Amino acid sequence: MKRSICYLLAAAVFVVASAGFAAAAAGPNQQVRSLLDSYKKEAGVKSFSADEGRKLFNSKRTHSVKKEERSCTTCHTADPKQSGKTAVGKVIEPLAPSVNKERFTDPKKMEKWFKRNCEWVLERECTPKEKGDFITFMMTM
């Protein structure tokens, strides 16, 4: 009896572990992959650069009206694996998919937040190239 419970447990652990591994190895889901493809087409590039994405994430800029320095890291902190805080103190869950598996899974949500936040930092929308680089960088985190 004891032995069969052991086997069952081992099997359960295996199933859970391999499912987790598969999810991590799968990278962006189908919808996000096609979003990235459409960005590539619009930008006229073959691939995106995680390094450019990192630069964008860390670049600082002074807002023309508010006269304050802003960057992605203002709210998200310099480490995408950490949670951040908005200007009025609300906690923001980490951006890195490795610690927050909901990130970069829903194209509609991604587009909405690119629009809002690119305008907050850059006072304009981000280009398809910038968005592709940003996602690619986050996928490596």
Partner 1 sequence: MKMKKFVLPLLSAGLLLTGMATSSTVFADGRERGERNERNERGEREERGDRNGGRTVPPADNPAYKQECSSCHFLYQPGLLPARSWGELMMTADKHFGESLGLDEKTVKDLTAYLTANGADKQTNMRSRRIADSISPGSAPTRITEAPYIVKEHRKISKETFSRPSIKSFSNCGACHTKGAEGNFEEDFVEIPKK
Residues near partner 1 (CB under 8 A): 65-66, 85-90, 92, 112, 115-116, 119-120
- Shortest distance in whole angstroms from residue 90 CB to partner 1: 5
CB of 126 to partner 1, least distance (A): 12
Considering the complex, state which of residue 121 and residue 139 has its C-beta at the smaller distance from partner 1.
121
SS (H, E, C) the chain: CHHHHHHHHHHHHHHHHHHHHHHHHHCCCHHHHHHHHHHHHHHCCCCCCHHHHHHHHHCCEECCCCCCEECHHHHHCCCCCCCEECCCCCEECCCCCCCCCCCCCCHHHHHHHHHHHHHHHHCCCCCHHHHHHHHHHHHCC
Q: Give the nearer residue to partner 1 in terms of CB position, either 21 or 113.
A: 113
Considering the complex, state which of residue 45 and residue 107 has its C-beta at the smaller distance from partner 1: 107
Whole-number minimum distance, CB 115 to partner 1, in Å?
A: 4
